[in-house]
Structure 1
Amino acid sequence: MTKEEELQEIIKKSEKIRIFGTKQSSADIASGTATLIDITTYNKILSFDDAAHTVTMQSGVILKDLLEAIEAKGWCIPCLPDINTITIGGALATGTHGTSGKLLCEYMTTCSMVLADGSLKRITEKDALIDAARVSLGVLGVMSEITLKCEPLYTLHVKEGPQDDSEWLPNIKERLKKHDFLRILWLPHTDKGYVITGDKIDANKEVIENLGPAYLKHRRAASKMLYKYSHIFPWTTAIANKLLYRGFFSSTKEHKGSLYQATVTKSRGSTIELAEWTIGLDKFPAVFEELKTEINKWSNKSFIHIPMDVRFIQKDNSWLSYAYKEDTVTMGCVSRNAATADTYEAFKSIEKVFLKHGGKPHWGKRFAAKDATLTKIYSKWEDFKVLRKEMDPTNKFLNPYLSELLNEKIMK
């Protein structure tokens, strides 16, 4: 499939349909229907508007290809996710984000969406519908062609290094004001965080590069070995984390590059099992301390693999955004043993603590909350459900996972 007309025809003729891309999501959001479409062949970059700094593409374009194309134009998207292997359509639908900026979907200015009957609906920034369409979970229709707003390319001077929790936690707001980029890799059971800051500089400014010891590239292999039996003996995680901190997070680094070059992971291939929760910026310190206390109890089996990724999102108006009407902090929780992720107690503990304070789950990652809980934490949840029924009255875009999430029965 390479043309919009083909996509329309497939959707029109299908009774139940979901779209999948590079399978990076650890949620079952893109599975379980009679018709599954691999969108990765629908991957053309269609046009550039030099005056408006916009790029239009098909929704199956891989982020890596898009970013390389706009960098060649001297442009960038100012807030990028951690990986470059995701499709643009999937990234938008699930609220994918980076740090120190807005969700990726907030840079969408227009899109065309194929509706359940195969017709095409064009949505622009002037349409009220765009606030629902930006993070749609793929249940309003299928994103077809997308236009994103870009900015002139810039260079970041990036500095990285460890800090005690007592140092980095109280200084978050100050650092957000001071730096153009801020990310913290928290190291559970060590009382340490690994702080990454970036500041815009002239591209010609000389920076003495320090990428740390050569053995840092073996962190994933070391993690795999140290966590091999942590699902059987969870307490060994605390020991492993201390060893990993000393070996891989205790040195400092310094370098420069574009946002894409300097901050985006380019070597991840398979799906990683993880959960991610967000909370208002003002609430985060108290939530962090509560979570830290909870997981450090030896009676609790929620020993968490490192790192927990702490990032920051600016408020927006998208209905199902994690940052709807407030600046937020996101905190990721990863299981390095993908095969035993279903019994990884840490996922339960982080959800319990964040939900207690009104936290929100990432749509493309693991969580157990369903409709009754989501309606309490997303103020536009019920409005979104009403809109979904209007746009997809036969539930064509629902699968079992989404049906349960939305408390909707799938018609057979």
Structure 2
Amino acid sequence: MKTAAKSIHMTLKAFFDNEAASGIILIFVAILAMIVANSGLAHQYHDLFHDRLPWTPIPKLYNLHLWINDGLMAIFFFVVGLEIKREVVDGALSDPQARRLPVIAAIAGMAAPALVFMAIVMGENAPELHRGWAIPAATDIAFAMGVMGLLGNRVPASLRLFLLTVAIVDDLGAVTIIALFYTANLKLMWLIASLGVLAVMIGLNRFRVDRWWAYALLSLLLWFTVLNSGVHATIAGVLAAFTIPMRLDSHGDSLLLRFEHALLPWNAYLVVPLFGFANAGVALAGIGLSAVLDPLPLAIAGGLVIGKQVGIFAAIMGANKLKLAPKPPGATWTQIWGVAILCGIGFTMSLFIGALAFPGYPLLIEEAKIGVLLGSLISALLGFAVLRFAKGKDDEDEAAPAAA
């Protein structure tokens, strides 16, 4: 029995240590949510997340769905903020020359999907659809890295780093978009209170205070004030993360690294899967499979599948041709194309923006989910196939004499 238990423990540890694990869990969660939402448990699934709670400490968060999207997802954004700060201060984004290509690619990879989306919905007599332009703009780090992890060493390390960096810049762009374009009914007093709390956190950093509990308590207070200000509450997560000290101690550690190390597993294996399960379930009975061809899901899927890969691949080719930035070393153009396709996986952030884009339009939110799931699935399968069968640099070098 001991040997069997140890074997199970080692197997589980190997799975969760694998970079593909979180992506595989997200795939499983999305499939499970779709099955449950279209089964005999559909009503229970809907009621679980949308029925009013018997009691809530914050009246604004009156059901489980709101607690997940406005509460738990603040942890997701906090971790995103920590990753962005770490990369900017001491990572792939700290070197201006090294970050040039990922930044150019990420900007093109946000603009092109938005253009594809608008091109498809522009002819429709439904101006409310225009609010969804940002849905296909973001890349899901966990999902995309998970698919890449399944390919093992067939993908050069430089492309893994490139994808991770593009996704991080993407996240920063998505956070900015949420703050600028999906904020309404600002409440001045709460906004001033938020700025006050943020100023205190910046002050703690400036005065070299490294007490984790002080930042944790103030982060909660910042989240509460932002929640009531009209700005989406999850923005508080990113702002709080930017105030966490990155300076290293005598052991080569920092408060930011300790926060990130402590929260990453909870984020990857609880927060994001729970969000996915609560948001990915689409009841097709009320919509029908024909809804895939409706303008909104078609525009989102088109933005993710076509816009992402065209924007990113063209940006890399253009930057390389114009000598603005070289392409990732050790990678072929086919492999770069495969990674550009993988950037069309927009699961978590796209579902999140989709819920913000259409308040008061539940049918459009459901259609947006269809577009996100379809576009992400096609991008995942197509990107995997291209990278699986693409020849690497070594293969091309070996094949060259034979071809000659």
TM-score, normalisation: structure 1? 0.26
Considering fraction of residues, name the structure with more strand: 1
Considering fraction of residues, name the structure with more helix: 2
Higher relative contact order (CA 8 A, sep 6+): 2
TM-score, normalisation: structure 2? 0.26
